[in-house]
Amino acid sequence: MNELKFIFTGPPGAGKTTAISSISEIPPVASDVATTDDLAEIKQTTTVAMDFGEVTLPDGQILHLYGTPGQRRFRHMWEILAQGALGLIILCDNSRPDPIADMDIYLENFAQLIEQTGAVVAVNRMETPNSPTLEDYYTHLQDIGLILPVLAADPREREDMLMLLDTLITTLEYV
């Protein structure tokens, strides 16, 4: 059986580690270390290599879930983790100063994977005042020539993460 590999990516603090922890049926593997740079103001640890977890589909197939480091200085891991992936979930933190610009970083760096497979954009912290709406994300994607599902999702909620995976798998059936 082929490995069914999906990638979670996004900026630091967007919820990649939390997403994999909330959905994984095995104890997740994480490569978090203490934050020593300017991120220390918003979080205590940061991922330096990857997060890993597994979830079983109703047909018995096992999905391998990989979370990328959020910081660009670990970008070399993005390319390594993208190899052989079937799809991408981009987590956006709507409380960041410019979450749509954040999304663009990951759209650009994972453009080949998105073109060959598919992606879903998941936006958390939608309650943040004066932040972009889901429609703003979708319109921006259209403006740059991409048609991708855009959903509100809380990485702490297993059902939300299952919804993202289901949406991604459904879109892959049409690629």
What CATH code is carried by the domain that includes residue 161?
A: 3.40.50.300
- The whole-number pLDDT of residue 124 equals 95
Q: Which domain holds residue 28?
A: 4-172
**Amino acid at position 119, single letter:** A
- The whole-number pLDDT of residue 43 equals 45
Number of domains in the chain: 1
Phi, psi of 78 (to 5 degrees): -60, -45
- The whole-number pLDDT of residue 1 equals 46
Return left, alpha or beta for 22; rule: phi > 0 is left, psi -120 to 50 is alpha, else beta: alpha
- 3-state DSSP assignment of residue 153: coil
- The model's pTM is 0.86
- The whole-number pLDDT of residue 58 equals 86
Q: What tens-digit pLDDT sequence spans the chain (175 residues)? A: 456 999 999 999 899 999 999 999 998 776 545 555 555 455 455 555 678 999 998 888 899 999 998 676 667 788 888 899 999 999 999 999 999 999 999 999 999 999 999 999 999 998 888 889 999 999 999 999 999 999 999 999 999 999 999 999 999 987 6
- The whole-number pLDDT of residue 128 equals 81
Dihedral, CA of residue 105, residue 2, residue 174 and residue 53, to nearest 10: -50
Outline where the chain has alpha helix (H): 16-23, 75-82, 99-109, 111-116, 134-143, 158-172
- The whole-number pLDDT of residue 77 equals 80
